[in-house]
């Protein structure tokens, strides 16, 4: 006896994948973008990258992708809030907030989020919530804008702000705004199910108050991650 396996139909709707990037992120963002193209089979998506202060090598790489029509490249009006510049550039039904130091791991990463979004017409955000480290006095929790799928119309209606604000990390203001209303709902989805996050790739640039020992440890960790990223790119094993 044979069992027929039914593949879920990809939900309709156009999607913008938003990636802010800064500093010397040349190979980091290359892995991010290449993995998105490799594992995204949605028929209507685009990638928009925001330059929040990148080096020459990274800019040349992204400019080549833009010229070939593979991405849209915009420049941040405020280096602390590139996500908000990206959201303003969206012209699709949904957008996905992404980090540049990630790689997609599964073909169903976007499909799963869209299906969860469509389970309830009131759903407007699919993603995760984390403790708001470093700013606990102002907000206990925040949206974690990594692989977070957002309904564009709801985002604009609520005027969601994703960038850093004084005393608040990214996603904290949007979190507060969203849960002050009841029209739209949040659906939980852990990004680690299908996205690998290298994390803290620019950590020392922000934490100059740390000891030299801590800084050396972090720099060594970044170097090891970079070697792994270059290996993945060279072998195409991602």
Task: Calculate what percentage of the chain has a pLDDT beyond 70.
Answer: 85
| Per-residue model confidence as pLDDT tens digits over 154-208 | 999 999 999 988 777 889 999 999 999 999 999 999 999 999 998 866 544 444 5
Q: Are residues 121 and 194 in contact, defined by beta-carbon separation less than 8 angstroms?
A: no
Q: Which of 1, 37, 3 is nearest to 17 (CA)?
A: 37
Question: What integer pLDDT is reported at residue 156 of this predicted model?
Answer: 98
Q: Which of 131, 43, 65 is nearest to 21 (CA)?
A: 65
Q: Is residue 209 predicted with pLDDT exceeding 60?
A: no
| Per-residue model confidence as pLDDT tens digits over 34-59 | 999 999 999 999 999 999 999 999 99
Q: Are residues 15 and 94 in contact, defined by beta-carbon separation less than 8 angstroms?
A: yes
* Overall average pLDDT of the 71-75 stretch: 98
Question: What integer pLDDT is reported at residue 67 of this predicted model?
Answer: 97
Rg from Cα positions in the chain:
18
Which three-class secondary structure string do you get for 98-145? CCCCEEECCCCHHHHHHHHHHCCCCEEEEEEEEECCCCCCCCCEEEEE
Q: 92: helix, coil or strand?
A: coil
* Overall average pLDDT of the 214-225 stretch: 69
Q: Is residue 217 predicted with pLDDT exceeding 80?
A: no
Q: Is residue 3 predicted with pLDDT exceeding 80?
A: no
Direct distance between the N- and C-terminal alpha carbons of the chain, in angstroms, rounded to an integer? 36
Tell me how far apart the alpha carbons of residues 95 and 86 are, in angstroms, rounded to a whole number.
10
Question: What integer pLDDT is reported at residue 96 of this predicted model?
Answer: 98
The pTM (predicted TM-score) of the whole model is 0.88
Q: Output 60-65 pairs: Cβ under 8 A, ≥24 positions apart.
A: 61/26, 61/29, 61/30, 62/21, 62/29, 65/33
- Burial 144-176, CB ≥16 within 10 A → b, else e: bbbbbbbbbebbeebebbbbbeeebbbbbbbbb
């Amino acid at each position: 006896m044979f069992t027929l396996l039914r593949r879920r139909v990809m939900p309709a709707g156009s999607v913008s994948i938003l990636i802010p990037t800064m500093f010397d992120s040349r190979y980091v963002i290359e892995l991010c973008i290449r993995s998105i193209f490799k594992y995204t089979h949605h028929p209507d998506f685009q990638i928009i990258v925001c330059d929040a202060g990148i080096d020459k090598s990274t800019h040349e790489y992204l400019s080549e992708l833009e010229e070939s029509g593979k991405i849209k490249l915009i420049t941040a009006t405020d280096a602390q809030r590139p996500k908000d510049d990206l959201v303003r550039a969206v012209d699709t039904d949904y957008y996905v907030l992404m980090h540049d130091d990630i790689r997609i791991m599964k073909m169903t990463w976007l499909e799963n989020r869209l299906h969860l979004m469509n389970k309830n017409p009131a759903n407007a955000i699919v993603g995760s919530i984390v403790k708001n480290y470093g700013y606990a006095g102002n907000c206990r929790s925040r949206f974690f804008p990594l692989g977070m799928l957002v309904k564009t119309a709801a985002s604009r209606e609520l005027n969601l702000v994703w960038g850093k604000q004084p005393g608040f990390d990214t996603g904290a203001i949007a979190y507060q705004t969203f849960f002050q209303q009841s029209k739209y709902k949040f659906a939980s989805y852990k990004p680690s199910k299908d996205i690998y996050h290298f994390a803290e790739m620019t950590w020392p640039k922000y934490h100059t108050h740390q000891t030299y020992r801590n800084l050396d440890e972090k720099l060594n960790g970044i170097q090891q991650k970079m070697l792994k990223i270059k290996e993945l790119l060279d072998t195409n094993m991602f």
